[in-house]
């Protein structure tokens, strides 16, 4: 009987798997023949970054964990930019090492809810919800901004999401059987489980943030005086367009027919520019681009993996904290040798 990591009420334990149910060992890593490799890992995913972060934090236990343990709100851009590397690496690195690495960032994230119940980041239901926002974000982004997917392609992405999730080496118990089952699960979560939370509102509040890295050439004085408030309004509207209607109602975010028409027009424009005019390699984030370069022979298969640049690392005092992705950490260099950084 295969054993995988899960949690008890307070600590990481081992859960025996049902022999009749799916196991992590049943799945091979995804490769370039998968639809996930084809459509995921591009910078267009940044359009739904606030959607993914806020949807994750709407889970009561996940929101509590982020609120109590994460320094996300103190280094927003840096944490977001460096997290893209291991998160995408679970899919694109091959094997299970990166998935286990990401899983282990969460071993010590636990605490107590306001009602006295316990939470742990590796609670299977909590961990799967975070994964659901990652893989289903593929579908939601394609539905709104392209490339347009058929229903069969959506089912294929769901089946591939199981292999993606298996790379973490955690319990497969929460994973729905079919894509239709997943849609029922998603709707149930939106209507009955997810909650507004200070961690959700803080994710959505980007009006006080400095320019993102790709706009760092803009002086902060000009940014905050002329652009920050407009940026906040646009991304609140953009994120509202990605939300399901029950989430809009819960968050008190109106969405009119005019909003929907404008959003669809924006989606067609983004699809034309991003997916038809620009080269695919240019659109890919460094880690997925590196994976495709290995497949094409542009990069040697045994070359060091691309890592985040130093500017995105945690503060010096936090770099030994095992909950952070920090590739310069000595212990990780010993475990995951031969990596390089790329902006």
Tens digit of pLDDT for each residue in 129-178? 999 999 999 999 999 999 999 999 999 999 999 999 999 999 999 999 99
- Cα Rg of the chain (Å, integer): 20
How far CA 54 is from CA of 101, 198, 200, 250, in Å, comes to: 23, 10, 5, 13
Q: What are the domain boundaries of the chain? A: 24-278
The token duo for 270 is 């983004």
Listed residue (169, 172, 164, 170) closest to 29, CA to CA: 164
pLDDT for position 339: 45
Query: Do residues 85 and 325 make contact, with C-beta atoms less than 8 angstroms apart?
Result: yes
Return the half-sphere exposure (C-beta side, CA atoms, 13 A cut-off) of residue 211: 15
How far apart are alpha carbons 336 and 326 in whole angstroms? 11
Phi, psi angles (nearest 5°) of residue 58: -75, -20
pLDDT for position 182: 98
Which DSSP string do the residues of 73-137 spell out, in sequence order? Answer: GGSHHHHHHHHHHHHHHHHHS-SSHHHHHHHHTTTT-EEE-TTS-EEETT-HHHHHHHHHHHHHH
The token duo for 219 is 């002086």
Query: Do residues 138 and 40 make contact, with C-beta atoms less than 8 angstroms apart?
Result: yes
Phi, psi angles (nearest 5°) of residue 307: -120, 170
Top mean pLDDT of 7-21, 40-54, 328-342 is at: 40-54
What is the pTM assigned to this prediction?
0.89
Tens digit of pLDDT for each residue in 207-237? 988 888 778 899 999 999 999 999 999 999 9
For 22, counting Cβ atoms within 10 Å of its Cβ (0-12 exposed, 13-18 middle, 19+ buried), the class is: middle
Q: What percent of the chain has pLDDT over 70?
A: 88
Phi, psi angles (nearest 5°) of residue 16: -70, 135
Query: Do residues 145 and 138 make contact, with C-beta atoms less than 8 angstroms apart?
Result: no
The token duo for 296 is 């094409």
In terms of phi and psi (left: phi > 0; alpha: psi -120 to 50; beta: otherwise), the region of 299 is: beta
Tens digit of pLDDT for each residue in 73-125? 667 888 888 899 999 999 999 999 999 999 999 999 999 998 889 999 999 99
pLDDT for position 17: 53
pLDDT for position 1: 36
Please say if the pLDDT value at position 322 is more than 80. Answer: no
Greater pLDDT, 257 or 279:
257
Beta bridge partners of 5: 14, 170
SS3 at position 302? coil
Which DSSP string do the residues of 183-221 spell out, in sequence order? Answer: HHHHHHIIIII----HHHHHHH--TTS---GGGTTS-HH
Q: Which residues contact 22 (CB under 8 A, 6 or more apart)?
A: 162, 166, 172, 175
Query: Do residues 209 and 228 make contact, with C-beta atoms less than 8 angstroms apart?
Result: yes
The token duo for 132 is 């659901």
């Amino acid at each position: 009987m295969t054993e995988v990591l899960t949690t008890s009420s307070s600590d990481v334990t081992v859960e025996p798997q049902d022999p009749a149910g799916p196991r992590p060992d049943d799945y091979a890593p995804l490769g370039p023949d998968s639809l996930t490799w084809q459509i995921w890992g591009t910078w267009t995913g940044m359009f739904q970054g606030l959607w993914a972060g806020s949807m994750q934090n709407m889970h009561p236990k996940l929101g509590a964990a982020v609120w109590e343990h994460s320094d996300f709100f103190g280094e927003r851009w840096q944490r977001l930019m460096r997290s893209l590397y291991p998160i995408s690496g679970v899919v694109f690195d091959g094997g299970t090492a990166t998935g286990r690495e990401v899983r282990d960032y969460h071993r010590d994230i636990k605490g107590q809810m306001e009602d006295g119940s316990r939470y742990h980041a590796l609670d299977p239901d909590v961990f799967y919800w975070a994964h659901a926002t990652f893989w289903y974000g593929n579908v939601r982004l394609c539905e709104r901004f392209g490339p347009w997917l058929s229903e069969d392609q959506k089912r294929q992405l769901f089946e591939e999401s199981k292999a993606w999730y298996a790379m973490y080496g955690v319990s497969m118990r929460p994973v729905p059987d079919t894509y239709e089952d997943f849609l029922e699960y998603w709707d149930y979560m939106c209507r009955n489980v997810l909650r507004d939370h200070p961690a959700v509102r803080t994710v959505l509040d980007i009006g006080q943030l400095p320019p993102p890295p790709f706009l760092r050439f803009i002086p902060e004085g000009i940014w905050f005086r002329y652009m920050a408030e407009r940026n906040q309004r646009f991304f609140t509207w953009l994120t509202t367009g990605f939300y399901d209607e029950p989430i809009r109602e819960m968050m008190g975010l109106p969405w009119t027919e005019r909003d929907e028409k404008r959003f669809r027009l924006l989606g067609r424009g983004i699809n034309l520019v991003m997916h038809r005019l620009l080269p695919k390699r240019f659109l890919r984030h460094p880690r997925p681009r590196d994976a495709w370069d290995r497949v094409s022979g542009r990069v040697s298969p045994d070359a060091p993996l691309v890592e985040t640049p130093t500017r995105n690392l945690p503060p010096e005092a936090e770099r030994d904290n095992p909950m952070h992705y920090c590739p310069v950490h000595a212990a990780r260099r010993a475990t995951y040798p031969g990596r390089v950084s790329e902006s």
